[in-house]
Homo-oligomer: A and B are copies of this chain.
């Protein structure tokens, strides 16, 4: 049965009913739960005026668009493009912040093959500009989420050919900051960022 809006425009049922296809992380669906937690936190921070952080749209190369009469433009052919940045950026307390979110089912370490070259390259460029560059890493089995300064990731990444192919859980738990689970938002990761910032200042560490 076809529906129409009162103004005669046709109601595009498909566009509303079908679920959005999961995309983003190359690790497919694994990232969706952490991703939705972070989106929820970002909505909260925005509503409370505490930060403005958004997930970037997935880059798409559009090849064909059809313009049906009285309906929204419909993209009929498009392809996923390689991103050149991380997924999230924004501003918090005057700081530029930039990060990616990663989930792993491993319990003893975070495998570096969860990370892409372009993400590291981008985070290095951000760190060079004195932005806050980090990753949010969730050990799904342990149900623990950490904010980890990008500098730690770089150390392991740059030595991955000769050294370990993963970052030990203990290292992340020691140098990262655990995100304490909450009600609303469930994953208030900026609290962990705050703690890391305080630690850095205490130690005069140039982590950022």
Contacts and interface: CB of A to CB of B under 8 A. Distances in A.
- Size category of the A interface is 35 or more
A125 B79 contact: no
Given A57-B57, A94-B129, A126-B52, A77 B79 contact: no
A81 B12 CA distance: 13
Nearest to A23: B62
Interface in A85-137: 85, 89-96, 98, 122, 125-126, 128-131
Question: Considering residues A54, A85, A91, which has the most beta carbons from chain B within 10 angstroms of its beta carbon?
Answer: A91
Interface stretch (A13-21, A146-154, A163-171, A173-181): A13-21
A15 B61 contact: yes
A200 interface: no
Nearest to A130: B94
Interface of A: 12, 14-15, 18, 20-21, 23, 46, 49, 51-52, 54, 56-65, 72-81, 84-85, 89-96, 98, 122, 125-126, 128-131
